[in-house]
Amino acid sequence: MRRLQLNRLRQMVDYCIEKIPFYTEQLSRAGILSGRDIKDLKDIERIPFTTKDDLKNNYPNGFLAVPRDKIARIHASSGTTGKPTLGYYTKRDMKTWAEASARVLCLNSIEAEDVLQISVGYGLFTGALGFHQGAELIGCTIVPASTGNTQKQLVMLHDVGVTALMATPSYATYLADLISQTKIPGDEYKITKVLLGAERCTNGMRNTIEKKLGVPTFDNYGLTECFGPGVAGECDAHCGMHISEDLFYPEIINPTSGKTLPEGEEGELVFTSLYREAMPLLRYRTRDITSLNYETCACGRTSVRMKAPYARTDDMIVFKGVNVFPSQIECAIDGIDGLSPHYHLKLERDGYQDTATLFVELVDPLELYAENKIHAINEQLQKRLSEIIIVKMKTKLVNPGTLQRFTGKAKRVEDLRYSQESTGQ
Ligand code: ZN
């Protein structure tokens, strides 16, 4: 694997220097004039990073390495501000991507006999079509349900005997809620596994889905800048996601200093495309915070594994001068009996003061009211929050079903501080 990676990296450096003016300049400034200047894999650290800002500044086709008529597909992910992030694919890329997705689905224990319902958005988003083409390679039955029309989703899940559901963790939690509430007995469903992706997944969400449906969940990781799904997926040992490291070379760096971190340490994930034709990226900073594990997995595979990213460098909220990650809030809620994983954090400005209110849904308020437990749960939540996040925030426990549900990526943090300021409040 290391030899293959080194060969591909050298070829990729030559390819980028020849095809992409941005890299011709970047690499020459770093003293790399050809692939031969990369003596071993460690030399990758000499290559400058590519950032989301670089993509933005060279939008829409500054990273395109082939002429337009060689492009077979264009995908896009919604940027949080302004322009989308584009993904370009040649015919060869489409083939590589399908194989990478099929590999990840195999990791997720998908077999030709499975009936796979893909309940993520079909369209510009890479998730659905990416998994779809991998599933076609495996030869399983595909139900392209996309998102929305939840009643029909449930009908399909039940009536055609779906064995595997693919959804975002939030939507899967919602569907699992509904399935466990219907009058149809749970064992009439044939679901044996739930595949998750497109969104960070908390243990609380996984536990909820697994408990309600009585089946295992498999996490997946991908990003438009690296094809989409197919980058990494979880096997049935459930201890990290195996990375397609022959296609994407991973590194972990300190997000502040940019220094490569030793094996096993936590930091920002960086990927270098090793085999991509249309839009190769060298040392692309994903902004995801995670760590890598190079030990052989219990499943027998030797490919490097990544932990589920627990935060994004750009999800960081600065509240009263303290860095707060949504994952810390999820961690505080996790494991408190009586609380569901559904929460909403509202940040506001009260005069010159920032305030934060955390709304969390209770699982069964009637039972808790009867037992006078709600006050104790709130205190427990306050304690957990003050242990994990140093600043104080208000907490409000609300009835099940009160907070918004998401069919796509969840937006659980609402920051009104700046909008309030600009309207003069
Ligand atoms: Zn494994």
pLDDT reading at 334 higher than 90: no
pLDDT reading at 234 higher than 50: yes
- The residues, any chain, with a CB within 8 Å of residue 16's CB and separated by 6 or more, are 23, 24, 27, 65, 280, 282
Q: What is the pLDDT of residues 22-66, one digit of tens each?
A: 999 999 999 999 999 999 999 999 999 999 999 999 999 999 999
Which pLDDT score is estimated for 79?
A: 61
Which pLDDT score is estimated for 257?
A: 87
218 Cα–ligand 1 center, Å: 11
89 secondary structure, DSSP code = E
Q: What angle do CA 281, 287, 288 make, to 5 degrees?
A: 110
Q: How high is the mean pLDDT of the chain?
A: 92
Q: What is the pLDDT of residues 182-208, one digit of tens each?
A: 766 657 899 999 999 988 787 888 999
Which pLDDT score is estimated for 310?
A: 77
- The residues, any chain, with a CB within 8 Å of residue 40's CB and separated by 6 or more, are 6
361 Cα–ligand 1 center, Å: 34
67 Cα–ligand 1 center, Å: 39
Q: Report residue 418 as tokens.
A: 């700046």
Q: What is the pLDDT of residues 94-119, one digit of tens each?
A: 999 999 999 999 999 999 999 999 99
Range among 57-71, 326-340, 385-399 with highest mean pLDDT value: 57-71
305 Cα–ligand 1 center, Å: 8
217 Cα–ligand 1 center, Å: 14
178 Cα–ligand 1 center, Å: 31
Q: What is the pLDDT of residues 217-231, one digit of tens each?
A: 999 999 999 999 999
Q: Specify the pTM.
A: 0.80
355 Cα–ligand 1 center, Å: 44
Alpha helices (runs of H) in 240-373, residue ranges in sequence order: 326-333, 365-370
User: Please, what are the domains in the chain?
Assistant: 319-422 (3.30.300.30)
Query: Residues lining ligand 1 (ion), CB within 5 A?
Result: 235, 237, 297, 299, 301
- The residues, any chain, with a CB within 8 Å of residue 110's CB and separated by 6 or more, are 116, 135, 138, 140, 164, 195
377 Cα–ligand 1 center, Å: 37
Query: How much of the chain exceeds pLDDT 70, in percent?
Result: 96
User: Using 50, 70 and 90 to split pLDDT, how confident is the model at 68?
Assistant: very high
Which pLDDT score is estimated for 186?
A: 58
pLDDT reading at 263 higher than 70: yes
**Maximum distance among all alpha carbons in the chain?**
73
pLDDT reading at 151 higher than 50: yes
Which pLDDT score is estimated for 420?
A: 53
For 230-256, b/e burial (b = at least 16 CB within 10 A) is: bbbbbbeeeebbbbbbebbbbbbbebe
Mean pLDDT of 2-21: 98
- Phi, psi at residue 267, to the nearest 5°? -175, -165
Gyration radius from the chain CA atoms:
23
Q: What is the pLDDT of residues 273-296, one digit of tens each?
A: 999 999 999 999 999 999 999 999
199 Cα–ligand 1 center, Å: 21
Mean pLDDT of 364-393: 87
Cα–Cα distance measured from residue 359 to residue 396, given in angstroms and rounded to the nearest whole number = 5
Which pLDDT score is estimated for 381?
A: 95
113 Cα–ligand 1 center, Å: 22
Q: Report residue 13 as tokens.
A: 């450096």
